[in-house]
Amino acid sequence: MAPRKSVLKLANVERHYGQGETTLSILKGADFELRTGEIVALVAPSGTGKSTLLHLAGLLEHPDSGEVFVGGRSCNDLPDDQRTAIRRSEIGFVYQFHHLLPEFSAIENIMMPQLIGGLSKAEAKERAAQLLDYMRIGHRAEHRPAELSGGEQQRVAIARAVANAPRVLLADEPTGNLDPKTASYVFDALEALVRQSGLAALIATHNHELAARMDRRVTLEAGKVVEF
């Protein structure tokens, strides 16, 4: 079997907030690597830096030192427009709360990032319909978010996150707002999508049962990423 490619790497990353005596050091020389086709659980107590790590990995923040690589390319010194382009084309985001656009249907929500990326309306709609079918909610394509259950909304959010075929999926407590049965069902759909597409996923979760189903588990200790 060919070795998996590195799609996301944080090398000796540090992130601090504040100034002088009020400086709060969140990440202190953190190293992490994510490879194609794997799902990694990030399990750590609140306040230890999970969101900061995801923001750095998703190019939403700059590290104070160290480097962030996406697809083998250092992104530290790229201008903002290039960082934005990488986020749109190579990184998908899923949050605890789905953040779907309430005035648009499920299929329109999934079409939106594709249209922004330059796809035609017909191509975007076809891709969105395929993703809805894959997530087993094709019959809900024309429903608006308020007409969908929590699990259905989150499956739409996952489909939207991968609509542009990114290299990396970053998820911050994607099942945290769901009951255990629905959370397991949503994770089943997410896992199948990752395995089928070959992308890589880093998922922050407090759900230890779901974390145990992933390929690796990492935590944050004293500002560093530690595998367990």
Q: Where are the domains of the chain?
A: 6-97+166-227
- DSSP letter string, 58-87: TTSS--SEEEEEETTEE-TT--HHHHHHHH
Q: Which two tokens stand for residue 162?
A: 């991968």
60: left (phi over 0), alpha (psi -120 to 50) or beta: alpha
How confident is the model at residue 46, as a pLDDT? 85
Residue 120 contacts residue 79 (beta carbons within 8 Å): no
How confident is the model at residue 175, as a pLDDT? 86
Which residue in 116, 2, 11 sits closest to 57, CA to CA? 11
Which residue in 42, 77, 48, 72 sits closest to 62, CA to CA? 77
d(CA 169, CA 102): 23
Q: What is the pLDDT along the chain (228 residues), one digit of tens a residue?
A: 556 889 999 999 999 998 667 888 999 999 999 999 999 999 998 889 999 999 999 999 999 999 999 999 999 999 999 999 999 899 999 987 778 999 999 999 999 999 988 999 999 999 999 999 988 899 999 999 999 999 999 999 999 999 999 999 999 988 888 888 888 888 888 888 888 888 999 999 998 999 999 999 999 999 999 998
Q: Give 6-97+166-227's CATH code, choosing from 3.40.50.970, 1.10.10.10, 3.40.50.300, 3.30.420.40.
A: 3.40.50.300
Which residue in 166, 197, 132, 175 sits closest to 57, CA to CA? 166
How confident is the model at residue 136, as a pLDDT? 87
How confident is the model at residue 185, as a pLDDT? 86
d(CA 105, CA 16): 40
Q: What is the CA radius of gyration of the chain?
A: 18
